Amino acid sequence: MKLKNKVAVVTGGANGIGRAMCERFAAEGARAVVIADCDEDRAEQLAKEINGLAVRTNVAVEADIVNLVKQAIEAYGPIDVFCSNAGIGTPGGADEPNEVWQRIWDVNVMAHIYAARAVLPGMLVRGEGYIVATASAAGLLTQIGSAPYSVTKHAAVAFAEWLSITHGEAGIKVSCLCPQGVNTDLLRQSAGGPGEFLRANALEPEDVADAVVKAVEEERFLILPHPEVAEYFLRKATDYDRWLRGMRRLQSSFKAKG
């Protein structure tokens, strides 16, 4: 799908990867870009810069997603591309409080489900539409030091796969974005060895936006701005136990560095 003359919605669109996607979509000639974010001021500022529409949205609240879709359609007509991009991270393991698990589950998983519920009916009637789900390389591999992030990003990948399998024959295109480290607030706030490891090879948000545009044009499911993730994923699939041993060694190296 070419983005020229299309209507695109991006959640988490005021910052980081989402902001870069909004700017790039506008540069590609999108007819309209809708910036959805909790950060209303930055969303409004970006909307002015790219002549888009800002909608204050908490993606963890289904009513907000429904309102976002309603406002976008009222302003511009049918949504061609919906980028379910907003996400959060948190460190910790199984012993994190239920409230922490629920919060990250709502943002990193349920937000994708809410988005699909809101945009799919119209797309299915038209027989066309594109959903781009931002997950993470952690959804294909794992995130050392963060069980909540790893689990929710795996779930995000799984739901994107399901959407593609279930609705692909009905004209619905789906892509799943799985970057490693990207120079955003989320990565900058990541502490310890895993954060340092990811920052060492971090891409800029604009690089990720480039990868998204290319994948959407090619209608390709898996978007890997860090190509090495494909090799890691292959190693995992072909020898799971060897991969697990390697990840344990990597984890030990982080601990050794303090």
The pLDDT value given to residue 191:
64
Residue 238, burial from CB neighbour count under 10 angstroms (0-12, 13-18, 19+): exposed
Q: What positions carry a catalytic annotation?
A: 149
d(C-alpha 157, C-alpha 223), whole Å = 11
Supply the DSSP symbol for 204.
P
What is the band of 238 on the pLDDT scale with cuts at 50, 70, 90?
A: very high
Yes or no: say if 160 and 134 are a contact pair by the CB < 8 Å rule.
no
pTM over 0.85: yes
d(C-alpha 70, C-alpha 8), whole Å = 13
d(C-alpha 228, C-alpha 201), whole Å = 11
d(C-alpha 106, C-alpha 113), whole Å = 10
The pLDDT value given to residue 53:
98
Asked whether the predicted pLDDT for residue 258 surpasses 70, the reply is no
Asked whether the predicted pLDDT for residue 194 surpasses 90, the reply is no
Structure token digits, residue 132: 């781009």
DSSP output for 136-203? -GGGTS--TTBHHHHHHHHHHHHHHHHHHHHHGGGTEEEEEE--S-BSSHHHHT--HHHHHHHHHTPB
Express each pLDDT in 29-87 by its tens digit: 999 999 999 999 999 999 999 999 999 999 999 999 999 999 999 999 999 999 999 99
List strand residue ranges (DSSP E) for the chain, in order. 7-11, 32-37, 53-56, 81-84, 129-134, 172-177, 222-223
| From 114-128, 155-169, 178-192, the region with the lowest mean pLDDT | 178-192
Q: Could you give phi then psi for residue 147, rounded to 5 degrees?
A: -65, -45
How confident is the prediction for the chain on average, in pLDDT?
A: 96
Yes or no: say if 138 and 88 are a contact pair by the CB < 8 Å rule.
no
d(C-alpha 81, C-alpha 58), whole Å = 19
Q: Give, in words, the CATH class of 7-256.
A: alpha beta
Structure token digits, residue 71: 């406002």
